[in-house]
Structure 1
């Protein structure tokens, strides 16, 4: 079974209203960082032999403060990306107004690189350059490699924060519920979380789920071991 249909209606609906910039990167980034940093605090504090209360206090502080910091950083980065797209759009608008023939030559070259030649190429240049918005969109994509769908800074920030919050709470759950051998449970749940994040990521990649899961599991495991090792240095 193919991933989507190719009838005229299917094509018109899918291409005429694209889904936009995906937020998979923000979900995975936020979830992995939330798990790693929170468990790093748990492992470090536990390695230093401090009380569960300290683990909970520092862990919650990390989840909310670092989660907000990451979301704010992602918002600022995405906003900068959006501002750059708008800047380049204005450049193309000005160039089309001031030097339309030069922009048509650029458009001709872009379409030539896409495989057009001869009369179809000339017709395409004429047709696209007669539609100002289509012309600008083609120049942004062909000259700068930009998508026609703008990123949304607030959506990116909220996705990062929610992912960080959910994944970051996992290492703290055994301590919040006063489970016996809380650190062991925290380590186990966090490792499961690492693997699950990687397996989830494989839905959008060519890697098998188990390989993607093990990759994320390994990254998180190394971070946890480093944090625990540093913490034990202060267990005097």
Structure 2
């Protein structure tokens, strides 16, 4: 006999972990965008040889606009994902009501594909369908834990705050460092920050860290070089 409560206990933490990873993903991306976007703005203005006050106003404006944009974008995106999860659960509930034998057979096949013997898989599927058919089929077919959907507000707040934090670095270096060194120091500071966010992003995504770090660094540096060069075209 399979302990169904143990089975659920093993599934829920991983799904909660996936939600937290989604929040962390939004945070890392938000911080990365905050660093690159704000650095691009202030370096573009610096390229035009504007005053420190003009740099500060441009940086603050870009920081606020970008933070609200990132937060709003994450809220809309995750809300759409949440709606899709709920719609899938509703359709699955209807499928169980109208095609119970087929759903039972599909759930049995899922466990067979995982390496469980046909007899045991059929027993497990039958007991799960009786006690929590909707939850079991949603878990196995769509990786959805009923009542534990992604929270769009969490992702939005994470993205907003992280963008804000990421934007502070280039804003401070471009406005506080002496004029002679502000561009060089900003480039170096932003490059170091991009190395960190690239590494963290690759770690969370379980991808090649070296490739992610170099890609993140090159994209950020290219953005800064281009915006600084464009700013020079409008030198006053």
CA deviation after TM superposition for structure 1 residue 25, in Å: 1.4
* Residue 84 of structure 1: how far off its partner (Å): 0.9
Where does structure 1 lack aligned partners over 5 or more consecutive residues?
1-10
In the alignment, which residue of structure 1 is the partner of 2:162? 163
Deviations 1:131-159 (A, max 9, x none): 22xx3233224333x34242111110111
How is 1:48-197 mapped onto 2 (pairs within 5 angstroms)? 48-132=48-132, 135-144=133-142, 146-148=143-145, 149-177=148-176, 179-180=178-179, 181-197=181-197
SS where residue 194 of structure 1 aligns? Answer: helix
Aligned-residue CA RMSD (Å): 2.4
1:105-136 Cα deviation digits (max 9, x unpaired):
2222322322233211211221111122xx32
State how far apart, in whole Å, the 2-side matches of 1:147 and 1:56 are.
Answer: 46
For 1:70 and 1:220, the matched residues in 2 are separated by 17
TM-score where L is the length of structure 1:
0.83
Q: Distance in 2 between matches of 1:128 and 1:166?
A: 46
Q: 1:128 to 1:13 in 2, by over 3 A?
A: closer
Question: Which whole-Å deviations, capped at 9, do the CAs of 1:150-203 have from their partners, x for residues lacking one?
Answer: 211111011111110111111010344353432222222111111122233354
In the other structure, the counterpart of 1:199 is: 199
Larger helix proportion, structure 1 or 2?
2
- 1:124 & 1:14 partners in 2: Cα distance? 15
Name the SS for the 2:50 alignment partner: coil
